[in-house]
Structure 1
């Protein structure tokens, strides 16, 4: 953002919440950096310097404020800039790319030179990749100190510090006191429960259409692996051979509350990164919607569903398997196949959750699928062969679903996998690679959503041309198109009399292509009937 000194000072003088997470204030007289909403007295204009990221303030020598807690700012893990290389680099850093590697390795993964990557970070973030990674580690540790009752040794481990000694040294240098002194100054908001679970808040920028996100996840929940109950989403997870459970629900405070039960606390940063990806917490609705509403058609859709997000995926291999299983069948049939696959080849969950007894397994790993006989699934031989080829490809290259230099390169790489065509590649790019500009132009649901008043649908080429103006947020445009068409179709076919259930069955053939699309969300009043008509007897929790 433009760091005009006068404009920024006006923002902090009024404690404008719209700048929270986008602007940080370094106070020269105290050596502290704050959020724009800090309750402390506003410093004199000549004593402040403004930074667009916490990392740049950190690199300039400022330490985080203990009152406004920069680690609690929304979008701390995000950056809303124009460099796709920086965006992909930040995503990799959030996933732990700098924990075991260096800037050279990070640059290699992005296909750029080390010096170029450093220049891009300096130009766009005001800090080096190493400082960005270190700042994220420190602020996560501070959040855990404030929001949990984890022992300090476990906080150090859970926030990615290599040793307790390094953890203590860092906090002594930054705050002039030991980490334990920070906790004594304020009781933790959330405690570690008796089962060894830790609960942490994941902030986001409002608005957030939680009912749409939950509806999407409910319709695609794989039996045994994940479930939606009430306003909560829960799933079984496996990382590096260890198993656990996560439960996510809204807090009503522009944050999601994530309960994580996992034996290796060192995996917490990676788990948080995945949760932010699944629930699209890095999105800036105001920036995205401001751009997309320039198109009158999208403006009406966005007005109807503000805060609609692009749901992410927990694991790239799991998502790709889902996509292959769902080819040429209904969503419900594809999920049924996935449930059979999990029951036969997934590992049983060692520790269950009393509130979610339906979580029984973790998703089978690629090696297991590659070595298994999948004929019991009752699928065509060609699709079984595609699943085996996909599993073997991931075994050979575990980073095959990692960030690429560009969206085009990612699509080419994904399409080289057996059974993956253009639509599936774009779908994986949207949900796993978190490419905001991914766009499956040949999707029938998208074309139907853009029908004109005469009922004529655009061709994929025409839709691509129209979508040029939506860059770099075409994935969000697609989400609104899918949702809008599903809602409109439901309303247009709403029965004037007779059985709603009968009507829902008639509606299935019309809605099914859009339901199978990446983001169709049915209107709440029709969700139960349509799901039941598709064979899904679960209740609605919109």
Structure 2
């Protein structure tokens, strides 16, 4: 990835917060890399090298600055600029607890390992394994500084199979041991006295937190999710661990505060990545709004509410079923039926204080389910059964296919048309260019009155919004709310 040195130089000299997380400054004379907003004395330009991501700076042999904490920088949008295959590979790597072999990763992506290795070398200058290690070590660095978790627990939480391997990789990247980093921490806290773990998810402002919560709260799944007093909460099961998480907002620090309760230490990295996708924390809002702002209708919405984020999903399979349930009925009705689905087929557990939490059923739990008595039509129940069967058989692939492939594989199933496929891609898979052109709200917003636009007209107008059509759809829905 190439950066403009002149732009980077001006940004770091001005300590411009708009560039925080967009690149990192590596100082060759000290062997340290920093965020462009670091308060330390500015190095001479001839002594610095710029890197698009912290992982690349770490892989190049530089260790993170203890003052500006590169591990706490907002998510870098640089990953979104690489090739589609590399981006899919990165997302797959982040979704798994432990590292997959090059051959396994390439097979899941449908390419050869040699080709994948060449793509990573071309776009990121390092192998998938090296990037994986650097990202996980950086995550572990944050846990060492911000929590009182034992080093062994942090190693497994970051995805390393053994403490010995973790120590070796960490020392190779940061030239110090995890214990030395822990000793250098100013203050260490696990968050709360009841054993709840606390994570911090940083973002680049602006972030319309209230709008995100309103969107998610209206669709909160009974017994699983709730939004109350500015906090999002949900129960979850991940890699055999069950727990409850709560997400609040620290506006002044530009970060979300996540409290996780349960025996979920080994899943912390996956939890952080799922939440970053759920709240779209890594969106390059400046670039998105630059493209969409060329359309007068969208520009008005951007002016009213800058910092657009696309609400994602905790789990793609869960969201796909909810999208199917929501076909041609209101949001409230779909949420009610989804609650019945959870009651009948999902599991539950009690937390440490005796509260009961429900869990959305997995595809395995739904195998053979007839879905009768939920308030569904016979055809809708058949669609659910077909989707579950296709998922279990591997005909529905959630390993981040491209948009066209995704739509092709699900629209062959009975009862799933382009609207449903695009909507699942948009929110369940966080595909930024998904666009449900036949959506009635989108057509009404584009029609500018009682007469609605047609899907072909919507597609033609949205062509100029690529690759951010999903954000355009969200702005159109917001325009309807502004009218009410």
Question: What TM-score, normalized by structure 1, do the two folds share?
Answer: 0.84
Name the structure 2 match of 1:47.
Answer: 47
Pick the aligned partner of 2:424 from 423, 428, 431: 428
Pick closer, same or farther for the CA change 1:224–1:387 going to 2, 3 Å: same
Q: Deviations over 1:351-392 (max 9, x none)?
A: 2668xx5x6211112222223342221322222222222222
Give the 3-state SS of the residue equivalent to 2:244 in structure 1: strand
Pick closer, same or farther for the CA change 1:398–1:136 going to 2, 3 Å: farther
Q: Deviations over 1:24-45 (max 9, x none)?
A: 1221112222211122211122
Name the structure 2 match of 1:522.
Answer: none
Name the structure 1 match of 2:103.
Answer: 104
Task: Please state if 1:391 is matched with 2:388.
Answer: yes
Task: Please state if 1:464 is matched with 2:459.
Answer: yes
Alignment map for 1:287-366 (pairs within 5 Å)? 287-351=287-351, 360-366=357-363
Name the structure 2 match of 1:32.
Answer: 32
Distance, in Å, in 1 between the alignment partners of 2:395 and 2:32 is: 42
Q: Which moved more, 1:360-369 or 1:226-235?
A: 360-369
Pick the aligned partner of 2:365 from 363, 368, 372: 368
Alignment map for 1:57-456 (pairs within 5 Å)? 57-76=57-76, 79-81=79-81, 83-96=83-96, 99-188=98-187, 190-252=189-251, 253-351=253-351, 360-397=357-394, 400-404=397-401, 406-452=402-448, 456=451
Offset of residue 156 of structure 1: 1.0
Distance, in Å, in 2 between the alignment partners of 1:179 and 1:246 is: 27
Give the 3-state SS of the residue equivalent to 2:366 in structure 1: helix
Name the structure 2 match of 1:16.
Answer: 16
Offset of residue 157 of structure 1: 1.1
Offset of residue 461 of structure 1: 0.6
Pick closer, same or farther for the CA change 1:382–1:429 going to 2, 3 Å: same
Q: Deviations over 1:271-328 (max 9, x none)?
A: 1111111111110111110111112221111111112211111112211221222223
Q: Deviations over 1:409-432 (max 9, x none)?
A: 111112233432111110110112
Name the structure 2 match of 1:510.
Answer: none
Pick closer, same or farther for the CA change 1:215–1:174 going to 2, 3 Å: same
Work out which of the two has the higher radius of gyration on C-alpha atoms and give 1 or 2.
1
Q: CA RMSD in A?
A: 2.1
Aligned length: 483
1:72/1:203 contact within 8 Å kept: yes
Which ranges of structure 2 fall in alignment gaps of 5 or more residues?
none
Pick closer, same or farther for the CA change 1:240–1:395 going to 2, 3 Å: farther
Which ranges of structure 1 fall in alignment gaps of 5 or more residues?
491-542
Distance, in Å, in 2 between the alignment partners of 1:271 and 1:262 is: 12
2:442/2:477 contact within 8 Å kept: yes
2:191/2:198 contact within 8 Å kept: yes
Distance, in Å, in 1 between the alignment partners of 2:450 and 2:396 is: 44
Q: Deviations over 1:252-271 (max 9, x none)?
A: 12111111123131111111
Give the 3-state SS of the residue equivalent to 2:361 in structure 1: coil
Distance, in Å, in 1 between the alignment partners of 2:277 and 2:171 is: 32
Offset of residue 398 of structure 1: 9.0
Give the 3-state SS of the residue equivalent to 2:260 in structure 1: strand
Offset of residue 125 of structure 1: 2.5
Task: Please state if 1:487 is matched with 2:482.
Answer: yes
Name the structure 2 match of 1:512.
Answer: none
Distance, in Å, in 2 between the alignment partners of 1:443 and 1:106 is: 36
Offset of residue 189 of structure 1: 5.4
Pick closer, same or farther for the CA change 1:63–1:451 going to 2, 3 Å: same
1:145/1:188 contact within 8 Å kept: no
Distance, in Å, in 2 between the alignment partners of 1:251 and 1:172 is: 32
1:222/1:339 contact within 8 Å kept: yes
Distance, in Å, in 2 between the alignment partners of 1:249 and 1:78 is: 26
